[in-house]
C-alpha cells in the first residue's frame, strides 16, 4: 500500500510502492484499524446477504415438521384418511398441489453447489529464475535507469520480502530486453497452457467437457483475446461461454471465481475453467519515475488454472465447496478510482502511478468487505458481542471499548494476496493473526513474488503441501486491487488433502519452508 511518508506503497493490487516526497509531507503509512471503525450500513448489507442467500432454508424446518408428523401416522390412519378424502376430489387435488408446489419451490430456490475439483499453479523453468543479483545486473545493462534509481531498486529488493528464486520471462532477462507482442504472447501461452495442462491431467476432465471459460489478465489484452487463445489451443466446443476480464487489478482472480459461480447457477451440469495470470513482458517499466518503478521489483511471472463444477456427482471427489463470495467496489469515489492509475510519465513511458491516498482508500475497501463478510461467517456468539457493542457505540453513543471479532473462529486458513510485505504486516496486526496463519502468504511472496491475481492459489497450494487442509476446514481468500476493489471467497474442504498425492509447485521444496524473512524497514528515496 502506498506510504508517501516512508516512500512505500502498493501498486495495482496492494504491493509496496514508492513515491518521491518532501519532508513536509505527513501521511499515515499504515492501514487504518478498520476493525475499530465500522458503518452500520455494511453490517446491514452482510445480514441482507445472509437472508437473500438462505431463503430456501426457511422451507427446511417446514419439511422437517411435516416429515416428523408423517412418521407418526399408522396404516390405520392412512386408510381412514383415504376413506375421508376419496369422495372429496377438491381436497385431494388441493393437498397434492400444495405438496408439489412446496417441493418445486424448495428445489428451484436452492442454489446449486459450486465445487472446486482441483487447481494448478504454473512453475516456470529454472532458466527464468531471477535472483536479486541478476535483477540488478540486467537493470544496469539496459542503460535506462539512473544511478540513484538503481540504488533505490536495490533497496526495494532487499526489503521487499522476495527471495532468490522468483521468475521473470525470457524477454525481460535477455540482453538487451525484447518486450514485444510476440514475446508477450509466448509468455501468456507458456503460463496458461502450462497450468491448464497440469489441471486437466490432475482432474481427468476432457477439454471438450468444459462449458464455461473465464480468463483474467489486467495489463495484457491482445486481439484475439487470451480466452480465444485457450479455445483455439484446446479446441474447446463451439458453444462455450467464454469471458476475458482485463484491467481489473490483482483482485480479478476472485472476480473470475464469482462470475463463474453466477454462471454455474444457471447452467446445470457444467464445468467452468478459470485462468488467472498477469503478463510481465509488455508491462515492464523502462523509466525513472519512482512511483512506477516498484512494480518491476515485485511483480513476477506466474499463473493458475482452477476447475469448478456444479454437478452433484462431483461433490464426492472435489476438494472444496465455494461457500461465499463478497465483492466490494469503491470506484464511485473519485479518490478510490484514481489512486492507482496507469499512465505515461514525463517521457511518455507507460507505468502505474500511485496516489498518496492509496493507504486510506485500501483501508476503507478492506473495512467494508470484512464488515459485510462478518455476518456470513462469524459464529453467533461473536456476532452478538460485536453487534451489541456496535449499537451501543453508534446508536446509544456509549463510550465503551469496541469489540473486535475474532476471525480465527470462522476460518482455519488465510490466503491474503501477496502484494507486498508491508501490507501483510498491517493485515496481520489488524486481524490479530499469528505467524502460522500468515505463513502461506509470506512464503508465496518470498518464493514466487507478486504473481498478481494468481497469488492466492500459490498460497492455497502451499497450505496443501504442508498437509494442513483437513476435511471441514474453512479457508478465506482475500485480495484487493485497482478501482479500488476488495474481494473475498470462502471455501470449505470436502476432504482431507494428502500432500503425498499432490502435484503442485511447492512439493519438491516444501521442506525448505518456512524461511526467515526479516521485518520490513523504511525506504528513503531522498
List residues with catalytic annotation.
250, 329, 413, 417, 450
Please name every residue paired with 350 in a beta bridge, in sequence order, or none if there are none. 344
Parallel, antiparallel, or unpaired: how do β-strands 485-493 and 474-481 relate? Answer: antiparallel
Parallel, antiparallel, or unpaired: how do β-strands 115-121 and 320-329 relate? Answer: antiparallel
Instruction: Tell me how far apart the alpha carbons of residues 268 and 28 are, in angstroms, rounded to a whole number.
Output: 49
Q: Which residue is it, cell 514508492?
A: 18
Residue 343 makes CB contacts below 8 A (sequence gap 6+) with 350, 351, 352, 353
Query: Measured at the alpha carbon of residue 431, what is the angle toward residues 429 and 434, in degrees to the nearest 5?
Result: 70
Backbone angles phi, psi at 245, to 5 degrees: -100, 130
Where b means 16+ CB within 10 Å and e means fewer, 482-503 reads: bbbbbbbbbbbbbeebebeebe
Residue 351 makes CB contacts below 8 A (sequence gap 6+) with 285, 287, 289, 291, 292, 293, 295, 342, 343, 344, 345
Instruction: Tell me how far apart the alpha carbons of residues 236 and 389 are, in angstroms, rounded to a whole number.
Output: 54
Residue 344 makes CB contacts below 8 A (sequence gap 6+) with 350, 351
Amino acid at each position: 500500500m502506498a506510504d508517501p511518508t516512508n516512500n512505500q506503497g502498493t501498486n495495482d493490487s496492494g504491493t509496496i510502492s514508492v513515491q518521491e516526497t518532501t519532508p513536509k509531507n505527513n501521511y499515515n503509512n499504515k492501514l487504518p484499524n478498520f476493525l475499530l471503525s465500522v458503518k452500520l450500513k455494511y453490517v446491514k448489507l452482510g445480514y441482507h446477504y445472509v437472508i437473500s442467500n438462505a431463503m430456501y432454508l426457511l422451507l427446511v424446518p417446514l419439511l422437517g415438521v411435516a416429515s416428523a408428523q408423517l412418521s407418526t401416522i399408522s396404516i390405520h390412519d392412512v386408510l381412514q384418511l383415504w376413506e375421508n378424502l376419496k369422495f372429496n376430489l377438491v381436497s385431494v387435488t388441493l393437498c397434492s398441489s400444495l405438496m408439489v408446489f412446496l417441493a418445486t419451490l424448495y428445489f428451484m430456490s436452492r442454489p446449486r453447489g459450486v465445487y472446486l475439483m482441483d487447481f494448478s499453479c504454473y512453475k516456470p523453468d529454472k532458466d527464468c529464475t531471477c535472483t536479486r543479483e541478476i535483477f540488478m545486473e540486467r537493470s544496469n545493462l539496459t542503460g535506462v535507469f539512473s544511478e540513484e534509481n538503481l540504488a533505490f531498486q536495490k533497496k526495494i529488493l532487499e526489503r521487499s520480502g522476495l527471495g532468490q528464486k522468483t521468475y521473470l520471462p525470457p524477454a525481460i532477462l535477455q540482453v538487451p530486453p525484447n518486450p514485444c507482442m510476440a514475446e508477450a504472447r509466448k509468455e501468456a501461452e507458456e503460463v496458461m497452457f502450462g497450468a491448464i495442462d497440469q489441471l486437466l491431467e490432475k482432474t481427468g476432465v476432457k477439454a471438450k467437457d468444459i462449458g464455461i471459460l473465464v480468463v483474467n489478465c489486467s495489463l495484457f489484452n491482445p486481439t484475439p483475446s487470451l480466452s480465444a487463445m485457450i479455445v483455439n489451443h484446446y479446441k474447446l466446443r463451439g458453444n462455450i461461454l467464454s469471458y476475458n476480464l482485463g484491467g481489473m487489478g490483482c483482485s480479478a482472480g476472485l472476480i473470475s471465481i464469482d462470475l463463474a459461480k453466477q454462471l454455474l447457477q444457471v447452467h446445470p451440469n457444467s464445468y467452468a475453467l478459470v485462468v488467472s495470470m498477469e503478463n510481465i513482458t509488455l508491462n515492464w517499466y523502462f523509466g525513472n519515475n519512482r512511483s512506477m518503478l516498484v512494480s518491476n521489483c515485485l511483480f513476477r511471472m506466474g499463473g493458475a488454472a482452477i476447475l469448478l463444477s456444479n454437478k452433484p456427482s462431483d461433490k464426492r471427489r472435489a476438494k472444496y465447496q465455494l461457500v461465499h463470495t463478497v465483492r466490494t467496489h469503491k470506484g464511485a469515489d473519485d479518490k478510490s478510482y484514481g489512486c492507482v492509475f496507469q499512465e505515461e510519465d514525463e517521457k511518455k513511458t507507460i507505468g502505474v502511478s500511485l496516489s498518496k491516498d492509496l493507504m486510506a482508500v485500501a483501508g476503507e475497501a478492506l473495512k467494508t468487505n470484512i464488515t459485510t463478510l462478518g455476518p456470513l461467517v462469524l459464529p453467533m456468539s461473536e456476532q452478538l458481542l460485536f453487534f451489541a457493542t456496535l449499537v451501543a457505540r453508534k446508536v446509544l453513543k456509549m463510550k465503551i471499548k469496541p469489540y473486535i471479532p475474532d476471525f480465527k473462529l470462522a476460518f482455519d486458513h488465510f490466503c491474503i494476496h501477496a502484494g507486498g510485505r508491508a501490507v501483510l504486516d498491517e493485515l496481520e496486526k489488524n486481524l490479530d493473526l499469528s505467524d502460522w496463519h500468515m505463513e502461506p502468504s509470506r512464503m508465496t511472496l518470498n518464493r514466487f513474488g507478486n504473481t498478481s491475481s494468481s497469488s492466492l492459489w500459490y498460497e492455497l497450494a502451499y497450505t496443501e503441501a504442508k498437509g494442513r487442509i483437513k476435511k471441514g476446514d474453512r479457508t478465506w481468500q482475500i485480495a484487493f486491487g485497482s478501482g479500488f476493489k476488495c474481494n473475498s471467497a470462502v471455501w470449505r474442504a470436502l476432504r482431507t488433502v494428502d500432500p503425498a498425492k499432490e502435484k503442485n509447485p511447492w512439493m519438491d521444496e516444501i521442506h525448505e519452508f518456512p524461511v526467515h524473512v526479516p521485518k520490513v524497514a523504511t525506504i528513503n528515496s531522498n
